[in-house]
Each structure stands twice: as C-alpha cells, then as structure tokens.
C-alpha cells in the first residue's frame, strides 16, 4: 500500500484520550510496516486537499466532527476509505443511551451515506458494532475486539501486574459527566470500601496509580465502545466493578487478566493493522 491519509479531529499530542492514543499506535504500526501515513486534522481535509491526492491513496477516517459535508461528499464519491469508529457519530446526540435499546429514531440518524460508502466501519467491540448495526443496518460493520497499546506500555503494565495490590478501589476522577465519577464514589461509600480517587495525571503515572488497587469501580452513563481504562485495569490484574454499558466486558477475553490479557492485546497489534490493510488493499 503506497499511502494512507489518516483523518481525525485531534491527535495524541493534542489530546491524550483513549481514541487518540489508539489511533497513534495504529499509525505507528502501519509506518513500521512501510506504509506512508500522513496525519491530517479533519478541519484541514478540504475538498481541494482531497482532490490533490493520487488515485491510489487510501483513507482512514477516525473522529470526523470537523470534516465538512463537501469533504465527506468527495470521499464518498471519489475515494476508498474506512471509518475507524470510536463512538457514535451517526446519531445526532452521539449517545445511544438516550434511546430505548440504544436504537435512535430515523430522524436522529445522521451521516448515513458516509457510513454506507465506507469500505468498512471498524468498531471497537462486538457491543459497539451491535449498536451501530441496530441503527444503520449496514453490512460493512466490523468489530476489531480490542485496542492498541505500544509494546513499551504493555511491558510497563505487565510489571505493574506483578506488584502487590492495596485493599482499595480505584476511581477515576473525571470531569466528563458520562464517566459518572459521582456514582462510583457513592457505591464505594455505601459498601464501605476504601477508595483512591485518581486525578488526571501523566499517562504512565496514571497507570501506576491505578495499578496499585485491587479493584476498579467504573459506572459510565453512556455506552463505552470498549473502555480502554477497563482493559488497562484488567491487564494490570485488577478486578472491575462496572455496569452493562462497557463493551470490553462482553468480549470473550474479558475473563482474562494480567499477562494472559496482555498477550491478547499483543496479538491485536497484528490483527487490527492486518484488517486495515486488507480492507484497503
């Protein structure tokens, strides 16, 4: 494959969110395999820019809120692309939890043609893919069943997994209402569990703090397409207390933790880029 243009609203050096970190690792793996990958912010992927690209250039579209309708139309009509979906940009609210059985009314569905024209819509879990399918009824929806971490971070979490745990419950202190920190704290208090409220920290510092506890309490209010932090907790040997909105908990590998789960995510470093390359071949 000669060239891929990777479109996203933000990149990991700007926002170190789970989706951005995942995207970054995919780009790095593809580059190591010899593919020329150009990253461009969605707001800068203008029709003129898209038309300048060679005919054999392929596109990976991650978050695309900044992508104009004209640019989406150009991609639909002239380019080969996949959507590497991290949430639910086919629903006006981006939150299927607002609807019964996660199914939005037809007048709340947006970007349908953009999803339909993609060579594939790659979702983060079977749970995620199932919600997308139930709303769009398309045949190009796939689940990658995991996330991507660097080999160095996987090694780092392996070392943490071997450490002795404190008899505490880790709780992520997030300002995002849908992460629902307040209910996680409330549950700990009701149960009489000692908890460690973890603030926003540098990534490795956050993992180190998270990995000290025996349990992780996480009660999101919106469907988590996978929940990177839940998988990280399991890879570091924690038990997880959560609700039915976390995609990771429905994957066949979720019963694993520590090195066994890390081994699964090491294999994802091959499987996910393989799927991207095969789909865009």
What confidence tens digit (pLDDT) does each residue in 84-95 have? 999 999 999 999
pTM over 0.75? The answer is yes
**CATH number for the 151-266 domain, one of 3.30.1050, 3.40.50, 1.10.1660, 2.40.160?**
3.40.50
pLDDT band at residue 2, thresholds of 50, 70 and 90? Answer: confident
* 186: its two tokens: 């409330």
pLDDT digits (tens, 9 = 90+) for 193-214: 999 999 999 999 999 999 999 9
**Cα atoms found within 13 Å of the Cα of residue 111, Cβ hemisphere only:** 23
Q: From residue 86, how far is each of 90, 227, 264 by CA, in Å?
A: 11, 10, 20
Query: Which residue stretches of 180-227 are H helix?
Result: 181-191, 203-210
Q: Domain 3-148+267-280 class?
A: alpha beta
pLDDT digits (tens, 9 = 90+) for 4-50: 999 999 999 999 889 999 999 999 999 999 999 999 999 999 999 99
Every domain range in the chain assigned CATH 3.40.50.2000: 3-148+267-280
């Amino acid at each position: 494959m000669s060239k891929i243009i990777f479109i996203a609203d933000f990149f990991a050096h700007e926002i170190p969110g789970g989706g951005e970190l995942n995207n970054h690792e995919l780009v790095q793996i593809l580059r190591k395999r010899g593919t020329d990958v150009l990253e461009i912010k969605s707001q800068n992927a203008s029709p003129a820019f898209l038309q300048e690209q060679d005919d054999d250039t392929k596109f990976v579209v991650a978050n695309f809120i900044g992508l104009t309708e004209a640019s989406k139309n150009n991609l639909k009509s002239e380019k080969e692309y996949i959507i590497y979906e991290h949430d639910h940009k086919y629903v006006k609210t981006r939150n299927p939890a607002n609807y019964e059985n996660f199914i939005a009314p037809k007048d709340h569905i947006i970007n349908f043609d953009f999803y339909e024209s993609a060579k594939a819509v790659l979702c983060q879990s079977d749970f995620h893919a199932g919600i997308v399918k139930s709303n769009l009824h398309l045949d190009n929806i796939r689940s990658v069943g995991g996330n991507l971490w660097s080999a160095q971070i996987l090694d780092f979490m392996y070392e943490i997994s071997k450490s002795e745990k404190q008899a505490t419950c880790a709780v992520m202190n997030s300002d995002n209402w849908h992460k629902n920190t307040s209910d996680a704290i409330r549950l700990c208090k009701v149960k009489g569990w000692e908890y460690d409220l973890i603030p926003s920290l540098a990534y490795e510092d956050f993992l180190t703090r998270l990995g000290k506890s025996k349990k992780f309490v996480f009660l999101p209010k919106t469907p988590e397409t996978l929940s990177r932090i839940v998988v990280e907790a399991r890879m570091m040997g924690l038990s997880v207390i959560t609700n039915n909105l976390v995609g990771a908990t429905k994957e066949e590998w979720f019963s694993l933790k520590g090195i066994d789960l890390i081994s699964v995510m090491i294999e994802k470093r091959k499987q996910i880029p393989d799927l991207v390359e095969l789909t865009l071949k």
